């Protein structure tokens, strides 16, 4: 059996751990051969491959990124895309394809598998943890640890000075990183895309915090929005408030708080450091187990499925179910965190 592997979408610590587990188990236990496709769906679309065997996966477990490269290419949006993918899979004698990616990458896999008979198994990946049907995706724990360590360091300054500290974390559509890191880091305010915030309420929390002689730390997801704000530009900035394009919600918030409370505010924008570097132990464990179970599904001929975490078990779910909707933060869960605000 020859198994193709591709990784699509944004960076995510743990991708290499999945690839390694697939290859180790596939080769050693099932006698599979592997074909690595380069740069996500561009690989099968354009027939770009990379050797993928046991020596190729040696030492990659702790490394961020992906040895296969990635892209956002979507063969369904390319003229004749499906036919070209099929041809290239045939040319490389690929019997099954493992697609590791987020909503978009897996959505393609769901369609190719369901409508065009290409035997796909999916492995869920998103740093934002917003993929349905799995308790967690790998990469998320790493991002939360990085953000939490950053918040920890801000506490020192918060103790010593009278400044508001704003930290902007990833999360355009879902506030999982902000919520987990905010709780783990002991933030005084957590703002997420799922819940439009009231800037007056935020300023109230800021002022009540100063009364205990301690400066407030505010964690804000990049996709969070004020109640009356409007997102006018594609990159999440708030032009309706008259601010520059590359300046995000963190800077906007700091500026508004300064204006309204008279307190100095400073911003940290974590940016891509949240999705780079070595994966946490949890993410390596999860990614490794996803890889082991995905190759089992391939061996079983159980296509159109995605591996998923449920409790401590790895299960198989329909690819279509997994990509049907975004997993956002439940209002009740967000409310639970509210006891620590202010």
Instruction: Judge whether 172 is annotated as a binding position.
Output: yes
Q: Which of 2, 92, 243, 260 binds its own copies (CB under 8 A)?
A: 243
- Among 101-109, 113-121, 144-152, 194-202, which window interacts with its own copies (CB under 8 A)? 144-152
Q: Which is nearest to 256 in space by CA: 221, 223, 229, 222? A: 229
* CB 304 to its own copies: min, Å: 24
User: Which 174-193 positions form the footprint of its own copies (CB under 8 A)?
Assistant: 180-181, 183-186
Q: Distance (Å, rounded) from C-alpha 159 to C-alpha 162?
A: 8
- Among 61-69, 84-92, 112-120, 199-207, which window interacts with its own copies (CB under 8 A)? 61-69
Nearer to its own copies, 118 or 203 (CB): 203
Nearer to its own copies, 60 or 76 (CB): 60
Q: Which is nearest to 111 in space by CA: 98, 124, 120, 102? A: 120
Instruction: Judge whether 128 is annotated as a binding position.
Output: yes
Residue 48: other Cβ atoms inside 10 A: 15
Nearer to its own copies, 70 or 74 (CB): 70
Q: Which is nearest to 134 in space by CA: 145, 121, 125, 143? A: 125
The answer to the question of residue 299 lying near its own copies (CB under 8 A) is: no
Instruction: Judge whether 38 is annotated as a binding position.
Output: no
The answer to the question of residue 280 lying near its own copies (CB under 8 A) is: yes
Residue 155, both tokens: 């506490």
Using the structure block, give the residue that is written with the tokens 């999982």: 176
* CB 303 to its own copies: min, Å: 22
Q: Which of 6, 18, 118, 292 binds its own copies (CB under 8 A)?
A: 292
Q: Distance (Å, rounded) from C-alpha 26 to C-alpha 46?
A: 25
User: Which 63-82 positions form the footprint of its own copies (CB under 8 A)?
Assistant: 63-66, 69-70
* CB 278 to its own copies: min, Å: 7
Q: Which is nearest to 287 in space by CA: 176, 82, 166, 123? A: 123
Site string for its own copies, 206-225 (x = CB under 8 A): ------x-x-----------
Q: Distance (Å, rounded) from C-alpha 96 to C-alpha 82?
A: 15
The answer to the question of residue 268 lying near its own copies (CB under 8 A) is: yes
Tell how far CA 312 is from the center of its chain: 20
Instruction: Judge whether 63 is annotated as a binding position.
Output: no
- Residues that are catalytic: 128
> What is the SS3 assignment for 283?
helix
Nearer to its own copies, 76 or 269 (CB): 269
Instruction: Judge whether 266 is annotated as a binding position.
Output: yes
Q: Which is nearest to 85 in space by CA: 113, 47, 55? A: 47
Nearer to its own copies, 83 or 232 (CB): 232
Q: Distance (Å, rounded) from C-alpha 222 to C-alpha 269?
A: 9
Residue 303, both tokens: 């296509």
Residue 43, both tokens: 């690989």
b/e sequence 284-293, b meaning 16+ C-beta within 10 Å? bebbbbbbbb
The answer to the question of residue 282 lying near its own copies (CB under 8 A) is: yes
The answer to the question of residue 336 lying near its own copies (CB under 8 A) is: yes
Which amino acids are annotated as binding site for substrate, given as ranges? 126-128, 163, 170-172, 222, 266, 272-275
List, as residue ranges, the binding site for Mg(2+): 103
């Amino acid at each position: 059996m020859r198994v193709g592997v591709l990784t699509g979408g944004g960076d995510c610590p743990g991708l290499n751990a999945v690839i390694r587990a697939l290859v180790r188990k596939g080769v050693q236990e099932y006698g599979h051969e592997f074909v690595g496709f380069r740069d996500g769906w561009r690989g099968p679309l354009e027939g770009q491959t990379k050797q993928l065997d046991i020596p190729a996966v040696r030492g990659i477990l702790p490394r961020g990124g992906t040895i296969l490269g990635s892209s956002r290419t979507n063969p369904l949006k390319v003229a004749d895309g499906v036919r070209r993918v099929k041809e290239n899979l045939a040319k490389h004698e690929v019997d099954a394809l493992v697609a590791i990616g987020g909503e978009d990458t897996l959505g393609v896999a769901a369609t190719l598998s369901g409508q065009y008979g290409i035997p796909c198994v999916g492995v869920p990946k998103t740093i934002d943890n917003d993929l349905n049907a799995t308790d967690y995706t790998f990469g998320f724990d790493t991002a939360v640890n990085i953000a939490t360590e950053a918040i920890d360091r801000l506490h020192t300054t918060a103790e010593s000075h009278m400044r508001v500290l704003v930290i902007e974390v990833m999360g355009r559509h879902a506030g999982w990183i902000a919520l987990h890191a905010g709780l783990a880091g002991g933030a005084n305010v957590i703002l997420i895309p799922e819940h439009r915030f009231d800037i007056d309420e935020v300023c109230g929390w800021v002022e009540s915090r100063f009364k205990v002689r301690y400066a407030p730390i505010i964690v804000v997801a990049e996709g969070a929005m004020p109640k009356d704000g409007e997102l006018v530009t594609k990159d999440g900035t708030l032009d309706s408030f008259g601010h520059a394009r590359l300046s995000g919600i963190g800077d906007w918030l700091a500026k508004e708080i300064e204006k309204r409370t008279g307190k100095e505010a400073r911003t940290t924008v974590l940016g891509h450091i949240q999705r780079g570097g070595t994966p946490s132990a949890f993410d390596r464990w999860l990614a490794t187990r996803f890889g082991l179970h995905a190759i089992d599904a391939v061996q079983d001929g159980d296509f159109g499925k995605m591996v998923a975490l449920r409790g401590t078990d790895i299960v198989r779910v329909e690819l279509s179910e997994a990509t049907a909707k975004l997993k956002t933060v439940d209002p009740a869960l967000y409310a639970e965190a509210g006891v620590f605000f202010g």
